[in-house]
Amino acid sequence: MKGCEYLPKTLPVPPYLDEKVLGAASRFLVRRRCRRRIAWGFGAAAAALLIAGAFIYPLQQRVARAELAGLADWSALDQECFDLSSEMNVCFPNDGDWFL
Amino acid sequence: MEEMKDTGGLWEKADDIALIRAFLGGAEAAFEALYRRHKGQLYGFLIHLTGSEAEASEVFSETWIRALDKLPRYRDDGKFGAWLLRIGRNYYWDRCRRRNRYPTDSLDAELPPAVAAPRCEEPEERRAADETGRAIEAALRELPPEQREVFLLRQQEISFREIATMQRVSVNTVLSRMQYALRSLRKKLAGTVGK
């Protein structure tokens, strides 16, 4: 026997360490999934806000301009909002106020 | 159940990087296969490095926990085992530094478990092997930590270049540490090994 053969390269690991490490791996996966879901949730919310903002803001601007000029054509605006709401389900007319 | 066994078999055949990717994708069984493949090597290395089963166990579990955190950033170079050993030895030396004492101080307190050769031998021969193993362990513990580490890492077939990277020294320094380690071990074990 050579000297190095007396020092085995691998040694058996006690079962309680297996449990500890595999438990940590399991928790790691759960945490990772949670983080991903939270990130997706934030991402989706941000995207929804951006899209909604992109449609609603120009409409509000038009209403404001029309009101200022005293030339509000409510029937046309109602129709525009109806089209938008049927597409996106985000805006509803309420006596000239626009809200989500 | 049969399906689970088949999947387990598949994981056993997959290489390390495939297992890591599968685990990060959510396959817990892939990590189990990876763990089974490397746990013995890491534990053997830590037992010899620390000289204490309790300390090795703590460092072992912490190494895996740290490895889990670093796994998403692991860059495949085909040496996951060496990467794991590096995390383990870094953590061990950090612990030693934190405790602000030399790691060999506590080594006499607890002897590592029997590390006799695993092959079957006659009782008489086995007893001699146990004694020799203990003599080698004792001689190893007397080596300066950096020499002991080089010796143990070489035993795990880690290249001198990689050891140099781990220890942040030149390859020549590592080579001379190995030379000193071997010379000291030969001197201390003269007449014990190979009787």
Which of 129-168 (B) contact A at CB < 8 A?
129, 132-133, 136-137, 140, 155-157
pLDDT of residue A27: 94
Mean pLDDT of chain B: 81
Between chain A and chain B, the number of residue pairs with CB atoms below 8 A apart is 92
Q: pLDDT tens digit string along B155-182?
A: 888 999 999 998 899 999 999 999 999 9
Asked if B51 and B39 touch (Cβ cutoff 8 Å), the reply is no
Asked if B102 and B159 touch (Cβ cutoff 8 Å), the reply is no
Q: Minimal Cα–Cα distance from A3 to chain B, Å? A: 6
Q: Minimal Cα–Cα distance from A6 to chain B, Å? A: 5
Question: How many CA atoms does the CB half-sphere of A80 hold within 13 Å?
Answer: 15
A25 CB neighbours in chain B (<8 A) are 23, 28, 31-32, 35, 64, 68
Positive or negative: CA dihedral A25, A26, A27, A28? positive
Positive or negative: CA dihedral A53, A55, A60, A62? positive
- Closest residue to B65, CB basis, from A1, A7, A24: A24
- Closest residue to A21, CB basis, from B35, B115, B129: B35
State the Cα–Cα distance between residues B81 and B87, nearest whole angstrom.
Answer: 10
Mean pLDDT over residues B1-9, rounded?
47
Mean pLDDT over residues B141-155, rounded?
91
Positive or negative: CA dihedral B57, B142, B167, B151? negative
Is the predicted pLDDT of residue A34 greater than 70, yes or no?
A: yes
Q: Minimal Cα–Cα distance from A5 to chain B, Å? A: 6
CB atoms within 10 A of CB A17: 17
State the Cα–Cα distance between residues A73 and A80, nearest whole angstrom.
Answer: 11
Question: b/e for A36-47, b at 16 or more Cβ within 10 A?
Answer: eeeeeeeeeeee
Q: pLDDT tens digit string along B110-144?
A: 444 444 333 334 445 545 666 777 888 888 888 99
B124 CB neighbours in chain A (<8 A) are none
B68 close contact with A: CB closer than 8 A: yes
State the Cα–Cα distance between residues A47 and B8, nearest whole angstrom.
Answer: 41
Q: Among residues of chain B, what percentage have pLDDT more than 90?
A: 45
**Which tokens in the block code for residue A89?**
């389900």
Model confidence at B43, pLDDT cuts 50, 70, 90, reads very high
The amino acid occupying position A60 is Q
Is the predicted pLDDT of residue A68 greater than 60, yes or no?
A: yes
Asked if B96 and B106 touch (Cβ cutoff 8 Å), the reply is no
CB atoms within 10 A of CB B41: 18
State the Cα–Cα distance between residues A80 and A33, nearest whole angstrom.
Answer: 41
Q: Do B41 and A12 touch (CB under 8 A)?
A: no
Model confidence at B3, pLDDT cuts 50, 70, 90, reads very low
State the Cα–Cα distance between residues A13 and A22, nearest whole angstrom.
Answer: 13
3-state secondary structure of A98: strand
Q: Minimal Cα–Cα distance from A62 to chain B, Å? A: 48
Model ipTM value: 0.71
Mean pLDDT over residues A9-20, rounded?
91
Q: pLDDT tens digit string along A19-32?
A: 999 999 999 999 99
Mean pLDDT over residues B37-44, rounded?
94
Q: Given phi > 0 = left and psi -120 to 50 = alpha, else beta, which region is B117?
A: beta
pLDDT of residue B118: 37
Does residue A88 or residue B33 have the better pLDDT? B33
B137 CB neighbours in chain A (<8 A) are 7
**Which tokens in the block code for residue B30?**
């892939």
pLDDT of residue B23: 93
Q: Do A6 and B26 touch (CB under 8 A)?
A: no
- CA-nearest residue to B126 within chain A is A6
State the Cα–Cα distance between residues A38 and A44, nearest whole angstrom.
Answer: 10
